[in-house]
Amino acid sequence: MVSYLSPARLPASVQRLTKPLLLQGLALITGLAGLGVLPLGGSRALALNAYCQVTQADALAKENLRKAALAGDAAAQQQYQTMVSQHTEALKQCRSRTWPQKQAVWLRLYPCDLQPGILDALFDRVINLGYNEVYIEVFYGGQVLLPQADNPTVWPSVVQAPGYERRDLFAEAVEKGRQRGLKVDAWVFALNFGYSYGLRTDREQVLALNGRGQTTYTYAKAGASSNPDEVFVDPYNTQAQADYSRMLGAVLRRQPDGILFDYVRYPRGVGPNSVVDSVDDLWIYGQASRDAFLRRAVNQQGQELMRRYISRGHLVERDIQEVRDLYPNEPEPLWQSRTSSPPLQPGQAPPTPASLRPQLQAELWQLSVAHAVQGVVDFVRLAGEQAQRTGIQPGAVFFPEGNQTVGTGGYDSRLQYWERFPTWMSWHPMAYAVCGHTGCILDGVRRVQSMIPSGTNPTVTPALAGIWGQPTYNRPALETQMEALRRAAPEITSVSHFAYSWQDPEFDRVRKFCSL
């Protein structure tokens, strides 16, 4: 059984600054209640701080009531529900008049959260910290938060303990969160289908493939990517699309308030692999992606040159002459985005292969990159449209720097061209830059705002990484980041924080490692 953890006090200096509630420490409530320190209720008005967080005393009182109610105390149960309702209403009123109006936290659930009272304790703590929205991780790491008895997907269920086959942790969390006025969204990985998917012999052809014969699974195992557990699929593969749509449909049937798509990109390489600067680096060599690439040809000369380019990695002069000889009725090779040259004047000789090769090769490189990028954009668009059809608002999560060019003709290996993501989705830039102050964090947000397509107005919800009350990992404390963002971009009305586990590490650790 999981121990019921209780809030611990912050350092006095932090309490003087913000009086937030970081929920850590073991068995504190039990000891205080035994000493008669904690009241079992009360009608005094709730006091929230500048960040809509409850006081230490109110949080402890609520937790004490919850435990007493769980033990069977009927009076405590009624008092607990009253206090939960009071906190719900107080948070609603506070957020309505406090920037940002929507403040969300990224949250992972664990099998032990199915134990009696744990979800109540968890969402009480979320409310205590001033959050009115949660992003619950539902599809990640090659597993899905669906009950074993109702899991139509190719991925294993997160909860696999005997006797819990029919317990629906995500659905229960949605219900518990909404009881407290929380908006509950599903957070799902997109093209990263996970290590377990990479192990399936019946899905090997679905994985993205580069020009060196590596799938993203073998690429990760070789240490070329930033995370060996990340396995990405070919976005053009119809089997990948079908597997994903089936999973997505099951998640959407739980009726979350929204759904966020993460990992809408290709792998992030390490070292020299972090830059894509040759066609062999691109994940377009799977059969589905390759076929789709060749369909971008406008004529046969164009298709044959495209085939030779991605097969060899470059063109040679004889390719151009041989393509002319193969299809003499076509004046020049054409593909999507390539415009026809002016007609030759009488007596004018066609350009020589030597003069054409550099230009054609440069154009084919750009076409190949654009093809890789378009696969990502199309995949998230399909997923977003599926969510929209059920009336659920989709959002896309991305790195502000994921769409950068590098050097001369190179690209960030993620090829995350988020400015092409649908603007009817909400946009969630991960403003995680590290420089010891808020400058680089704000730069990422400003970059996103500056690249919003003209005439569109997507909801931009920056994701900040940090901890209330203290700097961490060379990042300022959350309240410092929040104040800087408020001053720099007051028009933004929704912000999220990564992650709940950072705010409440002891509670997260016990929930994670306990056994049902």
Please determine, for residue 117, whether its predicted confidence score (pLDDT) is greater than 70: yes
pLDDT of residue 274: 97
373 part of a folded domain: yes
- Residue whose token pair is 């611990």: 8
Give the full edge-to-edge strand order of the sheet including 410-412.
275-276, 410-412, 405-406
**Could you give the angle at which helices 300-312 and 317-326 cross, rounded to 10 degrees?**
150
Q: Residue 14: name the closest of 58, 63, 51 by CA.
A: 51
Alpha carbon distance 99, 50 (integer Å)? 10
Provide DSSP, 226-268. Answer: S-TT--BB-TT-HHHHHHHHHHHHHHHTT--SEEEEE--S---
Provide DSSP, 72-100. Answer: T-HHHHHHHHHHHHHHHHHHHHHHHHSS-
pTM of the model: 0.92
360 part of a folded domain: yes
Q: Residue 130: name the closest of 66, 189, 50, 32 by CA.
A: 50
Residue 35 burial (10 A CB sphere; 0-12, 13-18, 19+):
exposed
pLDDT of residue 349: 86
Provide DSSP, 151-199. Answer: --SSSPBS---TT-TT--HHHHHHHHHHHTT-EEEEEEESSB--HHHHT
Give the mean pLDDT of 489-507. 97
Token pair listed for 504: 């409440």
90 part of a folded domain: no
Instruction: Please name every residue paired with 188 in a beta bridge, in sequence order, or none if there are none.
Output: 139, 261
151 part of a folded domain: no
Strands (E), 285-378: none
The amino acid present at 500, given as its one-letter code, is Y
Alpha carbon distance 85, 127 (integer Å)? 11
pLDDT of residue 242: 98
Please determine, for residue 199, whether its predicted confidence score (pLDDT) is greater than 70: yes
Please determine, for residue 313, whether its predicted confidence score (pLDDT) is greater than 90: yes
pLDDT of residue 345: 85
Taking only the tens place, the pLDDT of each residue in 337-362 is 999 999 888 888 889 999 999 999 99
496 part of a folded domain: no
Taking only the tens place, the pLDDT of each residue in 437-481 is 999 999 999 999 999 999 999 999 999 999 999 999 999 999 999
Token pair listed for 404: 């950068």
240 part of a folded domain: yes
**Separation in Å, CA 21 to CA 2, 86, 92, 191, 445:** 21, 17, 18, 36, 27
Alpha carbon distance 148, 383 (integer Å)? 23
Give the mean pLDDT of 124-134. 98
Please determine, for residue 28, whether its predicted confidence score (pLDDT) is greater than 50: no
Stronger pLDDT, 200 or 46, i.e. the higher one:
200
Token pair listed for 445: 């947000």
Proportion of the chain above pLDDT 90, given as a percent: 88
Taking only the tens place, the pLDDT of each residue in 406-415 is 998 899 999 9
Which residue range(s) make up the domain with 273?
193-251+268-337+351-391+408-419
20 part of a folded domain: no
pLDDT of residue 58: 96
21 part of a folded domain: no
CB 222 within 8 A of CB 272: no
pLDDT of residue 347: 86
Stronger pLDDT, 26 or 470, i.e. the higher one:
470
Report the chain's mean pLDDT, rounded to a whole number.
92
Other Cβ atoms less than 10 A from the Cβ of 307: the count is 16
- Running DSSP on this structure, what letter comes out for residue 416? -
pLDDT of residue 471: 96
Taking only the tens place, the pLDDT of each residue in 234-285 is 999 999 999 999 999 999 999 999 999 999 999 999 999 999 999 999 999 9
Give the count of domains, the chain: 1
pLDDT of residue 21: 39
pLDDT of residue 2: 40
Please determine, for residue 42, whether its predicted confidence score (pLDDT) is greater than 70: no
Q: Residue 357: name the closest of 405, 324, 406 by CA.
A: 324
